[in-house]
Amino acid sequence: MATVNDILEFVETLAPREMKMDWDNVGLLCGGKNRPVTKILVALDPFEHVCKEAADWGAELIVTHHPLIFSAPREVTDETSVGRSIQLLCANGISAINAHTNLDCAPGGVNEKLAQVLGLEDVEVIGRENLIRCGNTQATLPEFLSHIKKTLGCQGLRYVDGGKPVSKVAVGGGSCASALMEVYDAGCDTFVTADVKYNQFWDAKELGINLIDAGHFQTENPIVPVLTEKIQAAFPEIQVKVAESHADCMKFY
């Protein structure tokens, strides 16, 4: 029977550990390598409700993008979100593995999937960390905003108009706005990312770049069904599914 370690090794063929950022925490963060696996729940985040769904369904493993443990905890208690998640997993014998910045950077990973969903062509890697992807399309900014909203299923977008039509587009799922100068140096006119701050919108305005915040969840979640299918294909005897309880908690008004 497949073990947690078998899944871990397969996931790290998709998202090699060497591709992760130095500060990141990836791999097996809870449970044990030798435990048998019959059901895997896949989700963007290992939040409490996802752990609960895994337990209710009888999964022995969750596979997520974001890590269960980011800043190492000095206690594991009901008072913190990570403490509740760890307790739920341990109480139900569930292991947790994740691929984070290694999956962002990997071929076929978060950012390549995002570029594909947005229909970019001639996609290539830019920037020092091999994180951002850029590719070509042709649209006015309003057309492209409408296209993003539809293809990513965003309730709303926040953006700054850089004053140019959309032609060479950079994408970085999640919080990548700090890569703005690299996007500019690569000659892009448009950058789709998330968690954009006030000064970053202004920086883009001054650089003449269309900067679009399409949501952290919406720009990264497209990888989740991809990851699910790949694991399912590699382990046909295991039940693998996307968590049903997890969606973005943030709304627009």
Q: Which residue has the tokens 């700054």?
A: 160
The one segment of 41-49, 55-63, 121-129, 226-234 that binds a second copy by CB under 8 A: 41-49
For a second copy, the closer CB: 21 or 123: 21
Length of the chain as a residue count: 253
Q: Please, what is the minimum distance in Å from the beta carbon of residue 87 to a second copy?
A: 5
Nearer to a second copy, 121 or 143 (CB): 143
Tokens of 110: 């978060």
Nearer to a second copy, 3 or 239 (CB): 3
Which residue of 55, 123, 157, 234 would you call a contact of a second copy, by CB under 8 A? 157
Q: Closer CB to a second copy, residue 205 or residue 230?
A: 205
Tell me the CA end-to-end span of the chain in Å, nearest whole number. Answer: 49
β-strand partners of 197: none
Segments of 121-165 assigned E as strands: 121-126, 132-139, 158-160
As given in the structure block, the two tokens for residue 156 are 């709303």
Site for a second copy in 2-21 (CB under 8 A): none
Backbone angles phi, psi at 120, to 5 degrees: -70, 150
One of 31, 46, 172, 222 touching a second copy (CB under 8 A): 31
Q: Which residues contact 134 (CB under 8 A, 6 or more apart)?
A: 115, 120, 123, 124, 126, 168, 169, 170, 171, 183, 186, 188
Token output for 37 = 């696996």
How are beta strands 210-213 and 158-160 bridged, if at all?
antiparallel
For residue 128, state whether it binds a second copy (rule: CB under 8 A): no
Distance CA 88, CA 165 (A): 49
- Asked if 72 touches a second copy (CB under 8 A), the answer is yes
Beta carbon of residue 122, minimum distance to a second copy (angstroms, whole number) = 26
By CB under 8 A, name the one of 3, 10, 25, 55 that touches a second copy.
25
Element (H, E) at 97: strand 95-98
103 contact partners, CB below 8 Å, separation of at least 6: 14, 15, 65, 109, 110, 223, 227
* Distance in Å, CB of 146 to a second copy, minimum: 8
Total residues at interface with a second copy (CB under 8 A): 57
Looking at beta carbons only, is 89 or 240 nearer to a second copy? 89
Q: Name the maximum alpha-carbon separation found in the chain.
A: 57
In the list 158, 164, 230, 241, the residue contacting a second copy (rule: CB under 8 A) is: 158
User: Which residue from 12, 48, 60, 104 is in contact with a second copy, where contact means CB under 8 A?
Assistant: 48
Query: Would you tell me which residues interact with a second copy (CB under 8 A)?
Result: 25, 27-34, 45, 47-48, 69, 72-79, 81, 86-87, 89-91, 93, 95, 142, 145-146, 149, 156-161, 174-175, 194-195, 197-198, 201-203, 205-206, 216-217, 249-253
